[in-house]
Structure 1
Amino acid sequence: MDTMKAYVLDGIGDLNLRRVPKPIPGKDEVLLRVIACGVCGSDIPRIYEKGTYRFPTIPGHEFAGIVEEIGANVDPGLLGRMAAVFPLIPCRCCSSCEIGDYATCTSYDYKGSRSDGAFAEYVCVPAWNLIVAPDGISGEELAMAEPAAVAFHALRRGRLEIGDRVLISGAGPIGLMLAQWARAGGASRVLLADVDDRKLDFAKANGFTDVINPASSDVKAWVSELTGAGVDLAVEGAGHPSSWENCLRAARPGGRVVLMGNPAGPMGLSQNGYWEMLRKQLTVVGTWNSDYAEMPKNEWKLAVGAMAEGKIQVRPLITHPVSLDDLRDAIAVMRDRSEFCNKVMWTISKGV
């Protein structure tokens, strides 16, 4: 039996690198040789606190690879092609799937949490989930397609318009991609807030100079000074109550607020925060995942195309490219925050 190296989550906090059977593609699947897989912020609680939906599981849902084998029903032209992978596998039976709204499928599978993902040398995925790479894009950039599509979806939910002033609360990888998308979409000003000065310094190094640390400065006063009435659109990307409230306070009357940060705990709102929504008649919307269907709704194809054309730059956001063998140590660095990380990614270019 052919085997491969993979990180197997055997229980909460019990992540082990070992050899496991190499998967075999089903009739509608391809076998992908993984060339890069990013570590999402959600992977940290998934590995160390909450667990996956079953054990054992191979985590990893931000990935790209090369098609090495195909199932009986798959186009042979995919062999040898590099592709990103939409990790959600819809049930195709629920009311959401009937209208192509796969992100809100009620009975979905998901690579890296509900079934085996790409902290491994190989993974099997349905051919339908592949976004074949255009010319001029690397495997590492392709592996950033998932967070890039999520960020793009959030701004579409917020109805970004040319000339908008935008506040992004949370300056991690998706926050910086939100900032890039906002600028590319015609925002007149992009502001970033985060309680970690290292993230703000990194944002400035990547061209975003309007930054603030809410732990030491008043966000509403700062935004008012820079914009006058407030921002047209605020995106909450930190998953923290104070971040949500800062977005409400920073928004202008009649403005929009998008909630996208995964909450680390209860998301309480003060009475004054609630008044902000009422008195300013704010539009507050949620966002989840991304649209993956036929164009023009396929935000993955739009994201991959934008990366290939240089409209957004994701390679500088990868601060910790590592080999598969070194991935567990890099994940621990993220967990412990022992050094600054923006995006940790295992990649074959690091000697696997």
Structure 2
Amino acid sequence: MKAWVLHDTDDIRYEDVDMPRLRDGEVLVKVMAAGICGSDIPRIYKTGAHSMPLIPGHEFAGRVIAVDNGSNSDYCNSAGDDGTWLNKRVGIFPLIPCRQCVACRKGMYEMCRNYSYLGSRCNGGFAEYAAVPAANLIELPDNVSYQDAAMLEPSAVACHAIRRVLSGNVEAADDVSIAVCGLGTIGMLIVMLLKSRGYDNIFVIGNKSSQKAMTANLDIPEDNFYDIREGISSGCDAAEWLMEKTDGSGVDVFFECVGKNETVNWAVNSAACGGSICFVGNPYSDMNFDKQTYWKILRNQLHVTGTWNSSFTGDDDDDWHYVLKSIGSGSIMPSKLITHRFRINELESGLKIMRDKSEDYIKIMSVMN
């Protein structure tokens, strides 16, 4: 088969490789769509993967074409009336938990201490075929496309973040004010999910005109978009802007999806008394609070939480099943965020767009049909 193989840092090649050999409990998936995650770019071009050579890619979906004898797992949802995964259309949870550590014994697989991971610790989806544990599959209904399914992973990550600070069923409260800072794929999906549940008092913080246009398509008013570039030139930072927009009270919930010291400080400085902050973005550098900012965490009794990955337990209300039902019902449409599509042999073009930021993009995807 053909695959993109990362041989070393900044050395990725499209080449012939052996078909995967299935181990106990694995299935062979014909990859039909694979998204590029922002984390793939430093992994490929700067830091390398945990082990190399490696096939990257952890946001993918496809069809099961071969099944190991031990693959009829009931860890996830039902595989269909015949009890097997063969020929099923599937989405794929990329984290492979050990199921032995303290977190796994509590069903918190996303926090497994000894996990493997498709596309970063073992071979992933930037290939024609991938070996996947049957326990990591979720069956797709007929009305969910492969491209939408390849966005189940970032959608579930966004859902997980929302559930960290809002009600478990993510239902709207009329008087809740929310800020989303950082409008890449995860930030946009947070906005999309919030809107699908009826949250209307949403302020968004971005740095591209394309982001402004996309949030407008998600029914965010123009006046609720803060352009970081314009703010710098005008001398009004995002925290000051949010305080003006909320008549000095601040926002009830702040999703920080950038991971920079400046934006983390904006979150603290614009949160309402008793408000909640969810740190979503992977850090670019060390985080530092000055004394006055730290005082605000104490004096405003802020609820500060982190979020990591997503819940995939097989329960009907885990993050993956929630977003799959939301996509199936049409309440969210993640594929609207796909700005670029490439055939598998052209995938490097997408990687370089993201590496060099040569074009505006939100989600870049490899499609097989």
Instruction: Flag whether TM exceeds 0.5 (same fold).
Output: yes
1:328-339, aligned counterparts within 5 Å? 328-339=348-359
CA shift for structure 1 position 190: 1.3
**Correspondent of 1:130 among 132, 137, 153:** 137
Q: Which residue of 1 aligns with 2:251?
A: 231
Is residue 183 of structure 1 aligned with residue 195 of structure 2?
A: yes
State the aligned residue count.
Answer: 346
SS in 1 for 2:64: strand
Could you tell me which of 104, 111, 116 is aligned with 2:123? 116
How far the C-alpha of 1:250 sits from its partner, in A, is 1.7
Between 1:24-33 and 1:215-224, the stretch displaced more is 215-224
Q: Distance in 2 between matches of 1:153 and 1:107?
A: 21
Q: CA RMSD in A?
A: 1.4
Give distance in 2, aligned partners of 1:271 and 1:245. Answer: 11
Q: Is the contact made by 1:62 and 1:146 (CA closer than 8 Å) also made in structure 2?
A: yes
Q: For residue 246 of structure 2, what is the amino acid of its counterpart?
A: T
Q: Which residue of 1 aligns with 2:228?
A: 214
Q: Does 2:178 align with 1:166? A: yes
Return the letter of the residue paired with 2:238.
Answer: V
1:6–1:120 CA contact under 8 A, matched in 2: yes
Q: What letter corresponds to residue 145 of structure 2 in structure 1?
A: S
Partner of 1:157: 164
Alignment match, 1:268:
288
Report the equivalent of 1:70.
67
Distance in 2 (alpha carbons) for counterparts of 1:196 and 1:275: 32
SS of equivalent to 1:77? coil
Deviations 1:320-342 (A, max 9, x none): 11100110011101110001111
Deviations, residues 103-139 of structure 1 (Å, cap 9, x unaligned): 1111000000000000000001111100100131100
Give the distance between the partners of 1:237 and 1:19, measured in 2 at CA.
37
Say which SS state the counterpart of residue 187 (structure 2) adopts.
helix
Indicate the residue corresponding to 1:341 in structure 2. Answer: 361
Q: Distance in 2 between matches of 1:294 and 1:87?
A: 14
Once residues 191 and 290 of structure 1 are traced to their aligned partners in structure 2, the CA distance between those partners, rounded to angstroms, is: 24
Once the two structures are TM-superposed, the CA of residue 214 in structure 1 deviates from its matched residue by 3.1
d(CA) in 2 for partners of 1:47, 1:272: 39
Q: AA paired with 1:192? A: V
Provide the residue aligned with 2:309 in structure 1: 289
Aligned twin of 1:194 = 206
Q: Is the 8 A contact 2:103 2:109 kept in 1?
A: yes
Tell whether 2:266 aligns with 1:246.
yes
Deviates further, 192-201 or 334-343: 192-201
Question: How high is the TM-score relative to the length of structure 2?
Answer: 0.90
Query: Normalization by structure 1: what TM-score?
Result: 0.95
Of all paired residues, the percent bearing the same amino acid is 36
- One of 277, 288, 302 as aligned partner of 2:297: 277
Partner of 1:146: 153
Give the Cα separation in 2 of the matches to 1:171 and 1:269. Answer: 23
Report deviation, 1:296: 4.5
- Could you tell me how far apart the structure 2 residues matched to 1:21 and 1:158 are? 45
CA-to-partner distance for each residue in 1:257-294, whole Å, 9 max, x for gaps?
Answer: 00010112222223332122122110000100011113
Q: Which moved more, 1:252-261 or 1:287-296?
A: 287-296
Which residue is equivalent to 1:257?
A: 277
Residue 305 of structure 1 corresponds to which residue in structure 2?
Answer: 325
Q: Secondary structure at the match of 1:326?
A: helix
Q: Which runs of 5+ in 2 are unaligned?
A: 73-82
Structure 1's unaligned 5+ residue stretches are none
1:291, 1:297 within 8 Å by CA — same for their partners in 2?
no
The answer on whether the counterparts of 1:167 and 1:235 sit within 8 Å (CA) in structure 2 is yes
